[in-house]
Chain A
Amino acid sequence: METEVKVLFWVGTAVMFFLALGVLFFVVLYRNKLHKIKRKKSEQILEASIESERRERKRIAMDLHDGISGDLSAIQNYIAILHRKEKDHSKIVIFQEVEEALAHTLQNIQTISYNLMPPMLEEQGLINNLKNYFARVRKWNAMQITERYNTGVLAIPLADFYEVYRTIQELVTNSIRHGEATSIEFSMQQEDQIIILEIFDNGKSFDFYKSLKDSHGIGLKSIASRLKYRQAKLVQLSVEKGNKIQIHLKIKK
């Protein structure tokens, strides 16, 4: 009789124990799953917002480039026609002023449009756009820039190379504006399935990882998280002087 009670007791305890374990296991599993769903959701939201931002930038850039620039050029032509026919000196002076202002506005619109999204980004691909970009930087800044491209023909998805392009833009701007760099060495090469883009400037050194954490590095922070999302990452290499930063981009099959 006593042994039966004992057995029953132990069996009962064991059953309860496993039940409790089961419930616990279930809860943990559920939470895990919930967490995964949430993370996926937020990734989707991030993707959607990155995508819609890219589209908006493109739309505004195109409106500026095609529409407004075209209109301004047309106005320029009309003013030129009036200017040619004018004999009155005081009016000619005004026409000259208007022409100058128009040329200046056109230039500004184009710069804004280009910074939002280069007009031929999709058609020309990453390398051509980088070459164009560096040509522009050279034109507007007293900079020594060397470029080396050691990759073959690359088939990088648009979303990837758009982010890489913007990252390079941000890093170069940082070097010039905050680092006061006077020379930049840019290189691009391929190692196995990874494309490495490197920027080596001679400006003030900064700790990239530290500035990611503090509030000043908002630009960098958003870039780092967007790159991570494209399965790319930023790496800082230690150098004696200046900064050496690489972007590692995985080639997707």
Chain B
Amino acid sequence: MLKIAIVDDHTLFRKSLKLLLSSFDNIEVVLEASNGVEFLEKLKSTPVDIVLLDLQMPKMDGFGACKKIKEYYPEIKTLILTHLNDLHSIERVVKIGIQGFFTKNTPPKELEEAIWKLEENGFYFEKSITPVIQQILNNPGINNELKIDFTPREVEVIKFTAKGYRAKEIAELLHISSRTVEVHKQNLIEKVEARNFMEVVIYGLSQNLILLEELE
């Protein structure tokens, strides 16, 4: 069972989301909190795998909570779940080092896929925010100075992961074992000096290793 936490200050939304997630296979909601402070407090006694995190909350907002999660619970994957879809907010959380971004405008049924992709690939960002990612890349200051050589195999792994393929599917496509795919991914994270695979993908985009059009 995948253990999920929901952090959102809107009570009705939290309740509805819990019910929706419970209807997915192998996913259970083990923690609910209405702000960052409450979440961190409950996290001490309840371990989770993935946190669905709202950004605008009282006391401690999502940005603050992200930083704390990075610092104290780096193994937890963070999927931002918000109504905000502006450039600056996305840029801020991407720089903090979240693993996924899902806007509340996206049909909720796509959430199941998002959660599993996040779990298996270590990253997920929805299609509708790719123009925003593009904008962020146009800003100087994101890893652009770094020049790294990738093997063709590594580029393929980045490309397929960015497209949303799971490790198993990539392994089949490239005729290698899924264990090898995992090793490649781990190496890539170290090579780019990234904190997670999302940053590797963003780096790949910024170096034109992969093109946004390919992801559509």
Contact = CB atoms under 8 A, between A and B. Distances in A.
Interface residues of B, number: 24
A131 B109 CA distance: 31
Contacts of A120: 84, 86, 88-89
B10 A70 contact: yes
A76 B84 contact: no
Contacts, number: 83
Of the four ranges (under 10, 10 to 19, 20 to 34, 35 or more), the interface on chain A belongs to 20 to 34
Interface in A40-91: 65-66, 69-71, 73-78, 80-81, 83-85
A69 B83 contact: yes
Contacts of B88: 120, 124, 128-129, 131-132
A139 B131 contact: yes
Interface of B: 10, 12-13, 15-17, 19-20, 23, 56, 83-84, 86-89, 104-105, 107-109, 131-132, 135
A135 interface: yes
15 contacts: A66-B10, A71-B12, A71-B13, A74-B13, A76-B104, A76-B108, A99-B107, A103-B107, A107-B105, A119-B86, A120-B88, A131-B88, A135-B131, A135-B132, A135-B135
A73 B109 contact: no
A106 interface: yes
Closest CB pairs A-B (n = 10): A70-B10, A77-B16, A74-B16, A80-B108, A132-B86, A128-B88, A74-B12, A74-B13, A73-B104, A77-B20
A48 B150 CA distance: 61
